[in-house]
Amino acid sequence: MALVMTGSLRFQFGAEEKIVASGQAMSISSNEGHSVVALEDTLAYDIFSLIRHDWLVGDAAYLCQ
């Protein structure tokens, strides 16, 4: 789940695009490919269930691309 506190984000799911603005949330299914771009200064929370161990240990290689 992504929860946008301030600002806005553009999510891309293949050919589909969705803008999530301040005060809105988006649920994303496990393993669903997507990309995100901040459209302005943004404070957002990414909430994972189950825990993303690759993020905890800094082993998520795609984050460094």
Residue 12 predicted with pLDDT over 80: yes
Q: Are 19 and 42 in contact (CB under 8 A)?
A: no
Q: How confident is the model at residue 23 (pLDDT cuts 50, 70, 90)?
A: very high
Q: What separation, in Å, do the N-terminal and C-terminal C-alpha atoms of the chain show? A: 22
Structural domain boundaries in the chain? 2-64
- For the chain, give the DSSP string: -EEEEESEEEEEETTEEEEEETT-EE---TT---EEEESSS-EEEE--SS--HHHHTT--GGGG-
Q: How confident is the model at residue 59 (pLDDT cuts 50, 70, 90)?
A: confident
Question: pLDDT by residue (tens digit) across 31-54?
Answer: 788 899 999 999 999 887 767 677
User: What's the whole-model pTM score?
Assistant: 0.73
